[in-house]
A = this chain, B = another copy of it.
Amino acid sequence: MQAGFSFSIQSRQGKARAASYQTPHGLIETPAFVAVGTQASIKSLSPEQAKDAGTQVIFANTYHLYLRPGQDVVAKHGGVHKFMNWHAPVLTDSGGFQVFSLGASIEHGVGKIANIFPGEEGGILSSAAIRSKKGKSLVKIGEDEVRFRSHIDGSEHIFTPEKSISIQRQLGADIILAFDECTSPLHDKRYTKKSADRTHRWAKRCLDYSASHDPVHDYAQMLYGIVQGGAFQDVRTESAQVIASMPFDGIAIGGNLGNTLTDMYAILDWTIPELPDDKPRHLLGIGDIPSIFEAVERGVDTFDCVSPTRNARNGGLLKRFDDEGKTLDKFRINIRNAKFADDTRPIDEDCSCYTCKHYSRSYLRHLFKAGEQQAHSLATLHNLQFMADLMTEIRKSLHEGYFVDLKRDWLEREPAT
């Protein structure tokens, strides 16, 4: 474990565990939800507002910050914490996911990763080329490096494992991720295996770079390896074994997690038993409530996902029960609905968030209909508080031994009447 860090498991129930995760920028009580602040800002909130809503740790994106404002600018401020005035733990990804999805797609209308064509072989630098529907090569993946274009201005850039770690060290997050190729459900087993093997070679290069360079800032960083292998059991299991055998500080589970929640649960069942018990485990990009319960049960410690904050900005407010006490579909209401026009009640009478303490459904709907930015802020505050409160309840249930009951309570649906 790096200096300034400790990961101490306090309670267990089956494979699930609750831990105290100390970082140079403060404590993370796990299981924890990591709020997304892609461009070094939690969209529509000040850091103090996010903190007040129970947010312990945030996720910023290396790809975005590399392109804008640039890691040198962030480093000049003393790192991402000082740059954005967030004096609590931060995690950055490696840039890989965006290189392989956003970089290849956004400005070219091919959507996100699921819509990108599987790569084809060819070229000295590239063993695979992801192409836009127009046939123009936008990402070239080689053994040594990945070439991609900026979604902002189309300029060409190169990432290597070493460069990703170098950028992340300048950004200065507490937790950083090894550079990996994120395959899609459209990739076949042969390609997925080939890609995972390369990701393992890149993982070693990330560790070597890290071991041979002094920290940029005056604190250490935890470097996580990433398990790949798609939805193929033997590839996924092997990837877990390889990454587990390397001297990473923690493990992230990434890549293609299958097409259904059941696929994902199976992937977790293959992966987690291969991982060391004493290292923290992060599940990348997952934040829906059933998945959180299922993944915690299987031994995941932390989660990140844009959905609570993105849904908030679309008027999707997290809530467990409807006004008749029935479990809500997808655990949310759409506050833009006309039925809330003169509803003076808070979103949730039992919620402790700032929004529920001070504002009515009617006012929130008004802000959304009127296009006011405060709509986004108030909705985001509520959703982050909801996630924080859920994780607090999960931690409590692990400490007190009722996690299985809590999970059943949350996920069991009333029979159709």
Contacts and interface: CB of A to CB of B under 8 A. Distances in A.
Given A68-B366, A69-B362, A374 B341 contact: no
A264 interface: no
Contact of A84 (B39, B43, B363): B363
A2 interface: no
Contact of A46 (B42, B83, B369, B377): B377
Given A69-B366, A366-B68, A367-B41, A77 B373 contact: no
Nearest to A372: B41
A289 B125 CA distance: 60
Given A372-B39, A374-B44, A366 B85 contact: no
Contact of A39 (B73, B76, B358, B370): B370
A410 interface: no
Contacts of A344: 76-77
B39 A363 contact: no
A184 interface: no
Chain A interface size, as a band, is 35 or more
A415 to B, nearest CB: 37
A72 interface: yes
A25 to B, nearest CB: 16
Nearest to A73: B342
Contacts of A341: 69, 73
Nearest to A85: B358
Contact of A363 (B64, B72, B83, B376): B83
A77 B344 CA distance: 7
B370 A373 contact: no
Given A362-B77, A363-B83, A369 B43 contact: no
A330 B366 CA distance: 35
Contacts of A362: 69, 73, 76-77, 83
Contact of A370 (B46, B68, B374): B68
Contacts of A354: 46
Contact of A40 (B72, B85, B366): B366
Contacts of A64: 370
A378 to B, nearest CB: 8
Contacts of A365: 69
A107 to B, nearest CB: 15
A44 B378 CA distance: 10
Contacts of A44: 373-374, 377
29 contacts: A39-B367, A40-B363, A41-B372, A41-B373, A44-B374, A44-B377, A46-B374, A46-B377, A46-B378, A68-B366, A68-B370, A69-B341, A69-B362, A69-B366, A69-B369, A73-B341, A73-B342, A73-B362, A73-B366, A76-B342, A76-B362, A77-B360, A77-B363, A83-B362, A85-B358, A85-B359, A85-B363, A373-B376, A373-B377
